[in-house]
Structure 1
């Protein structure tokens, strides 16, 4: 018997011929497909569902290739599934082509008498009977077909199988479209990550070039004030350079390990400021904390200003040994950056206590942008506590 239906997919036939057990299996299968997120997994789940629900020896799913216009066999189940995978047929040929053109189900229980049958895709499998349905998306476009081959126990497919198969085909189509869209979003995110990485690389190179130019200018400057200003600028640029270098080397996306970044900055400042007070040692300790790139950059610049001010003003020539302690603490919803020293305390004339100075102006401005509070304690040295919300 051969049946081709000209009616639109979804026109119901009675379900009385379909067992309650198979209906329950259909519901379970639909739920499984709905919760599957990866495209390949959706195809695998879908084809296994077709084979089980339709009680067939094999099943296959073909999708339209938008570029070539051909139907490509994306996945199949059955004894020759690996052999036929990836094969293509013209969309105007075979039972699948008929279903695409007519947007209707097709049943044949004797392929030798079907004028639409394209022939076997493998010599190792003989197709006795077929039920094939179109996959129609929400835009009313046919995106492919799904078919069950050779009903078990030599049974025939009939019109009562169509509504159940249609219900399954509808959910397969939704799952395919959903996972395709998710894959598209993932691709866009990867493209964005490549652009961000390229941007960080360019910024890093520009900062390196600027740093080199400042170093060249410093060699020819004898004026102490000008030299100090350029050196401060050089250290600030280095802090930004380190962040972008970290983003590139560690392939970071949105979050940065703040503890690693600040420890790196502290070590570089100690190396560059040793000529001011060589006996000062910086010790760093902290919790593992991830923050946004923006927060990391601002926090790094704040730490740079605070440590440089400590080197300049906390210690005297009579001090035998200086200690600078940097501690990063993670609270429930806030981060605390503690920077302290064992120096002479906070004189009114120092940059650290003068908000009109460039160093403290940078600290104040960046703290405000982070929504941070600043506490300063001057007792047996000076301690700065910067508290800011974790993002």
Structure 2
């Protein structure tokens, strides 16, 4: 019994050490990405060229969306999954801040079940959401126009479903969605492929996307 107890204690100690190491890894990854994100933001503020500024801000937001995943993992008791409901609101508000959206200009409505995602699913989905919100800010609500963004995230029949809508004018040419030539739209389709998911464009009162992928 003594040897068995010693082995159990050794296993428990080993697991604690691995948890500490994993937590430290997520913390360092988050910090390194924060540094890169800050450098991109500083560069964006220093340039006088609007097109260059937009490219740098978009890159900064992509990095930040990944960093937030690692931050949530670092703060979580479970280092394998994150509470995605809380993450959704955080990443959306960060993007609003980076584009200096005045409070109340764009109303954000997030409705999500208590869903926990692994890092393998959280990172691609986070980048997709970043691209969708960025697209809405640039094209649906340019120059400070007001509007509304809705994000619904749920789990149904072992499949996750993300419904994204904005109240902008929409996209009159559906071919631009089916054969996207912008980096953002190409990223959305490529990242959905990483999730083994499907992407469907829907016309609501504005622009809408439905993305589904297996749990």
Q: What TM-score results when the alignment is normalised by the length of structure 1?
A: 0.50
Q: 1:368/1:256 Cα in 2 relative to 1: closer, same or farther (>3 Å)? A: same
Unaligned runs of 5+ in 2: none
| In structure 2, distance between residues paired with 1:339 and 1:255 | 23
Q: Is the 8 A contact 2:113 2:153 kept in 1?
A: yes
Give the alignment of 1:6-85 within 5 angstroms.
63=2
Q: 1:308/1:352 Cα in 2 relative to 1: closer, same or farther (>3 Å)? A: farther
Q: Cα distance, 1:338 vs. partner?
A: 0.9
Unaligned runs of 5+ in 1: 1-42, 44-62, 64-142, 144-175
Matched, 1:208 2:34: yes
The equivalent of 1:240 in structure 2 is 66
Q: Cα distance, 1:356 vs. partner?
A: 2.5
Q: 1:218/1:354 Cα in 2 relative to 1: closer, same or farther (>3 Å)? A: farther
| In structure 2, distance between residues paired with 1:317 and 1:216 | 22
Q: Cα distance, 1:186 vs. partner?
A: 3.5
Q: Cα distance, 1:234 vs. partner?
A: 0.7
The equivalent of 1:363 in structure 2 is 188
Matched, 1:388 2:202: no
The one of 72, 90, 94 equivalent to 1:268 is 94
The one of 57, 64, 82 equivalent to 1:256 is 82
The equivalent of 1:191 in structure 2 is 17
| In structure 2, distance between residues paired with 1:292 and 1:385 | 20
| In structure 1, distance between residues paired with 2:108 and 2:169 | 17
| In structure 2, distance between residues paired with 1:278 and 1:350 | 33
Q: Is the 8 A contact 1:372 1:387 kept in 2?
A: yes
The equivalent of 1:138 in structure 2 is none
Q: Is the 8 A contact 2:200 2:211 kept in 1?
A: yes
Q: Cα distance, 1:199 vs. partner?
A: 1.0
| In structure 1, distance between residues paired with 2:38 and 2:176 | 27
| In structure 2, distance between residues paired with 1:241 and 1:351 | 31
Q: 1:182/1:376 Cα in 2 relative to 1: closer, same or farther (>3 Å)? A: farther
Q: Cα distance, 1:262 vs. partner?
A: 1.4
Alpha-carbon deviations, 1:259-301, whole Å to 9, x = none?
1111211122223334499722111111001121221121111
| In structure 2, distance between residues paired with 1:185 and 1:256 | 25
Structure whose alpha-carbon radius of gyration is higher: 1
Alpha-carbon deviations, 1:208-244, whole Å to 9, x = none?
1112211222232112221111000111111112111
Q: Cα distance, 1:257 vs. partner?
A: 1.1
Instruction: Give the superposed CA RMSD.
Output: 2.7
Secondary structure class of the residue paired with 1:326? strand
Secondary structure class of the residue paired with 2:208? strand
* Equivalenced residues, count: 215
Q: 1:201/1:352 Cα in 2 relative to 1: closer, same or farther (>3 Å)? A: farther
Structure holding more helix per residue: 2
Secondary structure class of the residue paired with 2:131? helix
Alpha-carbon deviations, 1:298-338, whole Å to 9, x = none?
1111101011101111236696x411001111213011111
Give the alignment of 1:299-310 within 5 angstroms.
299-310=125-136
